[in-house]
Amino acid sequence: MIGQWRYWRLKTKLLFLTLFTSALGISLVCISLIFVENQNYRKQLESELHVIGGILAEQSAAALIFDDKEQLSSIISSLRRIDNIRQVCIYNSQGSIMAALESEDVRTCPELEPAPETGFAKNAYRMMMPITLDQETVGQLFLTSHLEVLRKHIRTFVLITAFVGIGILLVLFILAIKLQKIVSGPIVTLSDTAERIARDHDYTVRAPVSGPDELGRLGNTFNEMIGTIEEQNRRILESRDSLEREVDARTSELSMANRELEAFSYSVSHDLRQPLRAIEGFGQALEEDCGEQLDDAGKDYLRRIRNASVRMANLIDGLLILSRVSRQSMEKEPVDLTALLQEIADELLEIGDTLPTEINIQPAMQVIGDSRMLRVAFQNLLENAWKYSAKGEKRKIDVSAVTRNGSIEIAVKDNGVGFDMRYIDKLFVAFNRLHTPSEFSGTGIGLATVYRVVRRHRGQISATSEVGKGAHFVVTLPVSGKQR
């Protein structure tokens, strides 16, 4: 029952508490009344028996002096009319029995030596009283009364008390049913209002206020809270509408910017390439047809023009690649990274570099992502490792992977010239180079492209290095391959 208490309805709890408290109070009062009535009746019975004994002792004093047993028997025979008297014994001064009134269950008067037990004992009340004449004790009176009358009186009193208590409890039950509504009614109404608001999301609903008491203040506070929520909800809806309008506007602007970027890319790939091809073509023709007419300075100028056009073409290619990886949609799919890296390594080995080269690629590397973008990213990483390892006695590139904490970490390590960690912040920024063009060729866009591809895969890229001791790049990609 106690375990189910918290599942009871509020009005049931209030009714139970009221009736339980009332029943406990009525029970304690009834028990107290029964106890008091029992004590009072005992005292009354004891007092009546002492009065009877006193009268009997006074009447039998003269008969004891003259040893008139017949007179004594006549005196005590009058007590037969008293139902609760069980036994009466009259003793002379020597302790001999002079007269006795005995019932069916008690037939023998007790001896005076030792003195018989007196007072309430077991199922009877015993009394020993001296019989005196002129302040001289002439005998003893022993009287025994049974307690059946006391028990009947107490039983009757208990029944009356129980009926009265039950009647009072019934009246209190009826009153509790009506009065608990005063307390539970507003709370139940408040609960129903809260459920309605939660179900319908209608913040215009208000709970009725019962009065200025605590329940009334609770209702007012609840209504104020709902009003605050309604106002905040209104502001949220207004903010959402405003945000949607702003998003639509920004989306429109972004679409226009994308169209302009596409137009720019088209212009770069066609309009800018055409004059570069013309410069390169005429430069080559000038070198072939008029090379003998140029002095050394002219030939040097011509070589620089052709090299600049090549660098410009490479820069345009890099910009187009960076633009594509930033704009094109991603197609998530399982990618055999080991096979992809091996293809890139084979392409590098076909260059025919005379430097001894060792490329170690860990087998069975699998990732989830866009294979086209991942190829661009890792091709740039391997080409960087290849390029910056070209000045040693032997080129060595290691690619390995490890899975931890729901991500795969792909490490690309080389034994090249490395870089100064003071410039790590510029490493993945477009057009920033840590080496001069005379040392190593390049556009400064490759690592920026790698960074963009990794970020679009919701991954991270980091690098550590020491000048003259190679570089160590770590690409971290989520195993789930979520895209953005």
Least confident of 122-126, 246-250, 296-300: 296-300
Q: Which of 93, 63, 66 is nearest to 76 (CA)?
A: 63
Cα four-point dihedral sign 34, 35, 40, 43? positive
Average pLDDT over the chain, rounded to an integer: 79
The predicted structure's pLDDT at residue 56: 87
User: How much is the pLDDT for 474?
Assistant: 92
- pLDDT tens, 185-203? 777 777 778 778 777 777 7
Domain with CATH 3.30.450.20 in the chain: 5-170
Check whether 317 has a pLDDT greater than 80: no
pLDDT given at position 476:
92
Residue intervals in the chain for CATH 3.30.565.10 = 330-351+358-478
What mean pLDDT comes out for the span 200-228? 75
In the chain, which segments carry CATH 1.10.287?
210-327
Residue 481 has pLDDT above 50, yes or no: no
What is the pLDDT, as a whole number, of residue 250? Answer: 82
CATH architecture for residues 330-351+358-478:
2-Layer Sandwich (3.30)
* 186 vs 193: CA distance, rounded Å: 10
pLDDT grade, residue 401 (50/70/90)?
very high
pLDDT of 429 above 60: yes
- pLDDT of 64 higher than 80: yes
The string of pLDDT tens digits covering residues 357-367 is 888 999 989 98
Say whether pLDDT at 400 is over 90. Answer: yes
Residues in the chain: 484
Among the listed residues 153, 198, 172, 162, the one whose alpha carbon sits nearest the alpha carbon of residue 21: 172
Q: What is the per-residue pLDDT across 319-359, written as a single tens digit (0 to 9) for each?
A: 666 566 666 677 888 989 999 999 888 888 887 677 888 88
5-170 falls under which CATH superfamily?
PAS domain (3.30.450.20)
User: For 136-155, what is each residue's pLDDT tens digit?
Assistant: 888 899 988 888 878 888 88
Average pLDDT over residues 112-117: 82
* Whole-prediction pTM: 0.44
- Where is mean pLDDT largest: 5-9, 360-364, 404-408? 360-364
What architecture is the 210-327 domain classified under in CATH?
Answer: Orthogonal Bundle (1.10)
pLDDT at 483: 42
